[in-house]
Every structure is written in structure tokens, then in C-alpha cells.
Structure 1
Amino acid sequence: MVTTQERHVPAATGTADPTRNRRRPVVLVVDDEPEVLRSIHDLLRIDYQIVTRGSGVEALEYLRTAPDVSAILTDQRMPGMTGVELLREAADVRPETTRLLFTAFADLSTVVDAINRGHVFRYIAKPWDPDELQALIRQAVERHDLIAEKSRLMIELQEANARLVEADRLKGAFLEVASHELNTPVTVIKGLSDLWKMSQAAAAAPAEVDWVDRIRAAADRLARTVERMLKLIDTKAFSQGLATEPVDLEPLIRGAIDVVTPYLEKRGQTIEVAIQPGLAPVHCDRDKIHDVLINLLINAVKFTPDGMTIAVEAADQEDGEREGDADAPRFVRVAVRDQGAGLDPENRRFLFEPFFTGFDTLHHSSGEYQFGKRGIGLGLCLVKTFVELHGGRVEASTPADGLGGSVFAFVLPHRPAPTPVPPLGQVAPFEPD
């Protein structure tokens, strides 16, 4: 051992300068014996930038200023500062740097201390096997690179999330302003239309009355669209929780069918209802599940040809993983089947996202019930949002029976454990069956 004053020990003439070639990983080797430093330098210099220091103090000075160090390999027995003490300090200065310890003393307590205090990655005894040392350094550098890559990806993810949150905030703010701005003229149009009919309709020509009726109907449709937008962005309503109560689903389903019956009659469509006898009440927010049912039914009306039949089913469903277990959680599944063209596989994962219409916007044609007409893409998003508020899930599939059409369904626990729903744009991704 060198017992003289600590000093910088060059590994050999032509020691690699870590600033010359950033492509090679930097390995810091610390030992108070120049021969050891020179030996390690000659062994590793082809693949790595080897930086040598003769004491723990000098090594820490380098660590504090170096741009990047993949690994530090230090002797345990050195004057002034032991290897374990150095690695403990190095863990604070450069936590991403892989720490290695070698010593000529087969002291188990030293190894344990190094692991506990210095967070050492590996321990190697002197004299070392060259192949073993090279393999050890390679593993240490790979570990450093993995940690660095993970840190880089985490930073990118945090930045992306920050951009998403800001974009979501701006989108929500825009929708809220747009909704309120639309409500004002809609209210005026509806009010003036009603006033005209009360004061002028009796003396007006039939065509004029028809025009005003169309104006009023268009205003009503726009008002319902605005209402959907406000429901989706009303995070205050979400945070206030659900007004749950035991709800008998059969009258709720039939009440939703009554709402869409005028559309069914205009399209010549019929609905077949199959509800399991004795279906137990579901603890849910009546109004929100009513909205869910109406949106699913209107979706089926739009995508079912004239004169065809829409099917609605409701039945209990057990926990699939504990089927037959009397104590298994009970669920109820409500499904609406249309007779449309089925689901486009490329679009299935977007079905429940806000503003997705599954159609080329250049050929967009809006309507409330007409065949193939689209809205602004909020109906199914509301379905997913309200169902997930109840701790349930949504499903969308094309049946394998060859009869065509699509099935949109939701599954609710009989006694939900409500889960918080993130703001618009951060809804959990829909995973199709």
C-alpha cells in the first residue's frame, strides 16, 4: 500500500481523456497503487474511457464535475477514505453510476458493509481474473445504461403527460365556453319560435308554420347536443359522486325505449326486449344509467336500416373467475344489438373516445335518428364515462353468429364501488373484446 500523501495517479502514458470520445462509456477506477490502475487501464482501455484517481477525495471531485460516469470501481483499503465510504458518498453524488468494489481482503463484513452502505452492485476479490473483470464492467455499464434510459423515458413521459394535461385543460375550457355561448342563441331561437306560434301562427300560411316548426326542432336538437357537451365536461358533478339507490332496471329500460319510440316509428323499426325474470335491483345513479340507455338506443336506431329490429337484453352475470361461487360478486349486463354493418376493426378502440364519429368528416352528415347519420361523437363517450363511474365496464363486439350487426353492452356490479373518473381526454382507454 502507498502510505504517502494522496495524489492523482495517472494510469499510464496516454490515459484516455473522457472528453475526447463521448461514445465510449466512462469507467472511474480508484486505487492508491499506480500499478493496479495501470493494469486495469491496459485491460479495459479499448472498450471504455478509463479515468483513474488515487484517492477517494480525488474521485469525488471528479464525480461532481464529470458529465457522465457509467461505473466506478474502487479498492477498499485506501488512506484517508475507504472504498465503502467513497461509494456511499458516490451514491449521493451520482446515484445512476454503478458502484463496484474490489479488495485483497476476504472480509465478509466488509462486503456486507459495502452492500448496505455503499449500495454496491458487485464485489470482486484481488487478484482478479481478467475475463471476470471485463464481464463485470460490461454488466455494470449495461445497468447504468438501463437506468439512464429509464430516467430519460420517465422524463419524456412526464413532459408528455404535462402537455396532455394542458391540452385537456384547454379543450375543456373551450368546450365549456362554446357550450355556454351556444346556449344563449339557442334559448333565444326557441323563445322567439314559441312566441311567434302563440301570436302569429293562426294567421300565417301553413308553409310558414312548417318553417317555424323546423326552426324550433333544429334548436331543440342543438340544445340536446349542448347538454351532452356540458354533461361530459361537468367534472364537478363527477367529483360529487353518484346519487345511488336501488333501481329496478326493467322499468328504467322500458322508460328509455319510450323516449326513442318516436324515432322508431319514423324509421319503421321495432324493439325486442328480453329481461331476465326476477332481475335484482341495481344500486346505481338512476339518471346517469337512464342517459346510458338512451344513448345506446339512439346509436342502434341510427345504424339499423328502416323496418328492422333492435334487440335489448338484460341479465345477471357472475364473476367469470369465480363462476358458481355463491359469494362471487354479482353483475348485471345490458346489451343493445343493432342490425348495421358491424364494427370496423380499425376503429374499435376509438369507439368510446370523445368526438369520434368513425366517419370521414368531409362527408359528415348529422342527424338524431336518420340511418347512418352522425352526431358530434359524445354519446358513446358519455356511456363509457357514466358506466365507469359505477365501477362497471363497456363492451363492443360484432356477434359471431353470422347475422351481422353490432352489440354495445355495459356491465354493472349490483353494488358498485365507484371509481373516480379523470377529466375529459384522460378517460381510461377502451379495450375491445
Structure 2
Amino acid sequence: MNAPPTSPPKYHVLYVDDEEKALHYFRQMFEDEFIIHTATNAAEGYRILEAYGHQIGILLTDQRMPGESGVELMDRARRLHPNLVRILVTAFTDYQTAVKAVNEGRAYRYLHKPLDPEQLASVLRQGMEYYATLMERETLLTENAENIRSTLMADRVAGMGIMAEGLNHHLRNALTVVRAFIDLAPMKLMEEIEGRPPRDANFWVETQHQAQAQIERIQTLLNHLAHASHSRKLERKDSIHLGTLLEESISAYLAHFQERNIRVEYNVSPTLPALLVHGDRFRQLWRLLLIEEITHLHPGDYVRIRATMQRDATGQEQAVMVLTDNGAWGAQDRAANLFDPFFTRSRKPDDFGVNMMACYVTLHLHGGSIEAKRLEPQGLELTMRLPLDPNQNTQEADDFFQRATQHEERWRQREELAA
């Protein structure tokens, strides 16, 4: 056999065969080159595939075994992990079965018994190289998709900032005039009718209250937009214990959770130290998250929050905060849309749809990141990462700052040219 590569194996090999001697010899031949798993039947092999997931790069399986056949196992394995390299081992009498499996895409290739060690070693190395290439390609595609999503999000936030600035300037002035008119209208009406009481005083009172409520709603929306589109890195000078903050925040909304029969639980690891944050914005982050849950969830649903300290690939210490719920999604909803401006899971007309975008921006302006995952059959998982060192950023935060800064510079240049 050729000399095995010196680099440590990244992915594993699973060999399924009802002949235990064959499994023993296989392990002896290749355990120095690959991480080997063996199983004596398809059911046991499938359990190993489920347990190790994408760590297993090659499935080598005998065709004829008691119970499920090799081809049937490969069919199930393909549905579980489409990229898995599947190799069928057959006797010469099963030649047509093997050819059909390859032609139909069930198998990467087939080998005849008795196995030739040199040929088997060559096939395993080629298969492992092929699998590693597939996984690298998938990783790159995922990273590119995430980069595109982050870029689009930064674009949206920058655009929202411009829009919010314009709306605040123009609408607030108009709202001031409208509010003054509404406040003065009842008194002016009394003057017009020479001090006599109006025939339907309740009508005027209710109309005034409704108009004032709508003005408050518009002003609240403007405030939310202003916070959501803020694009300058926040100063992290306030020390906050997350457990204490969660207790206070949940207590503030406990009546709303109880009224809607929504269970809320939290668990903060005792090893998580106090966090240096921008106090106001970090508290607002959790208020917005809880409001989002109250708005979206239905009676009987739950919210669970857990927080731990972890290290990233570079050894940097991070607070990892995970919020999960079992709320329903729309059929066409995607997790990536959750942070889009004016997207709401609840579809309620009074839901502003900027709370989650504000949370996204707040985490990034802290040097952290937030990711959303849609759970099956229903539910949401939000993973928030915050470097413990205020001077460190996640890669996602660095990318966000860069895009936001570029947009601010372009907008400044545009204003200078217009002047």
C-alpha cells in the first residue's frame, strides 16, 4: 500500500458489514490513516451516521446483510447527508445491483469482494479528497451567502438611517403643528359656539384622544427608526450582570406573559462574568426581544434564554446568549428576513417591525453578532455573541462597521456636492 498522508484525518470512515472479521481487518489496515467506525448491520450504521453527522465523510457498506441491505442504507444516508461519499461492497453475483446504484446516484462507486487493499486504499483517499472538496465548497457558499446577507443588511440600515433622519426632520415639525391644533381644537370650538357645550361632548373627547394616540404612535415609530439605524460603535463602559438584567426585564413584562399564558425561563451560567456594555442600549435590546416574544407568541408557547461563556476559534472569550421559542412561522417566512425593516412574524398591523432590526444593529455596534435560525416544525433560535473584551469585535461586526462607514462617507460626500 502507498504510504498514508502525514496530516491528521479531518473526516471519518464508517464501514458496515455483517462479517465481523472483515470489520476487524479493515480497522487494522486503515486505523493509522483514518478515524474508523464499524457496524454489523444497517440500523447500527445509521445510528452512527446520526451521531457523528458531517464528521463522517465516507460510508462503505456491504450489500447483503440481515435486515436492511446496503443500497437501502445508502438511500437513507443520502437523505440524511447528501454530500456523504457512499461506496457499495458487493459480490460478483450482485454486479447489476451495484451498477444500478452508481447509475442512479446512490453510490459514489462500487467494489467487489474480496477487497484488494491497494485498490481500497486508493478509493478511500480519492473519496475523502472528494468529500473534503464538497464540504469546503459548501462552507464557502455559506460564507458568501452570509457575507451577501450582511452587506445587504448594512445597506438597509444605512438607508434606514437616511430615511429616519429625513422623517424625523420633516414629520416631527408637522406633528408639532398637528398636535397643537388638536390640543387647541376643543377650546376654539367652545369659543365658536359662544361658550355653549357641544351637543356630543364624548365625540370630541374620543376623537381628540384617538388623534393624540396616533400621533404618539408615529413619534414612537420615529424613535424606533432612529435607534435602529444608529450606525456608530457604542461605548461599552457600563458593567452589567446578565442574570440581574434578565430578572429585571422579565419582571417588568411578567404580567403580559402571564396574561397571555406564555412561559418564560432563563439560565445564566455562573461562570459568565459581568459584561461591559452600553447600558441603555443593552437594556433596550432585551426589552425589544421580550416585546417581540409577547407580540408574536400564542397562549401555551414558551421562551427560553440561556447564556454561557465560550471561546471562538481564535481563543477570544465571548458571552453566548441563546433565545429559543416555539412560535409559529408563516409558510414562506425565512429566518434571514427576521432582521429586515418592517418584517413581522406576527403580521399584526400595530407591530412596527423594526424591533429585531434594532436588536441586530445594537449587537453589531457592541462588536458582537446575532443570528436567527428557524426551528422545525416551528420555533425560533436567536444566537447572540458578544466579545467580553470591549476592544474586540466579531468578524460580522467588523464587516458591518466597514459597510456602515462607507455609506456614511458616501452620504457626506453627496451632501457636500449638493451644497
TM bin, normalised by shorter chain, reads 0.3 to 0.5
Higher Cα radius of gyration: 1
Give 1 or 2: higher helix fraction.
2
Question: What is the TM-score when the length of structure 2 is the normalising length?
Answer: 0.46
